[in-house]
């Protein structure tokens, strides 16, 4: 991500995907959450700006 930032891309313009272990895929089981964000329901596509706000769990 620093490479894109150094090239002048804003955090809101950089998109990527997250993967996490999932079970229900509906935002019900809580298996895929990072803080209060559910990768299955809220993603899996996130901007770098969104990812920077996630808790550092990994």
43 within 8 A of 37, measured Cβ to Cβ: yes
- Only segment of 1-9, 17-25, 42-50 that touches ligand FES (CB under 6 A): 17-25
For residue 14, the Cα-to-chain-centroid distance in whole angstroms is: 11
**Closer CB to ligand FES, 11 or 42, in the complex:** 42
Figure out which of the listed residues 14, 31, 42, 50 binds ligand FES, where binding follows CB under 6 A.
31
Least spacing, CB of residue 34 vs ligand FES, in Å: 10
Nearest CA among 53, 35, 57, 33 for reference residue 43: 33
């Amino acid at each position: 991500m620093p490479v894109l930032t150094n090239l002048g891309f804003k955090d809101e313009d950089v998109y990527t995907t997250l993967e996490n272990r999932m079970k229900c895929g509906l935002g019900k089981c809580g298996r895929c959450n990072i803080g209060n964000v559910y990768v299955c329901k809220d993603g899996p596509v996130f901007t770098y700006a969104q990812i920077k706000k996630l808790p550092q769990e990994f």
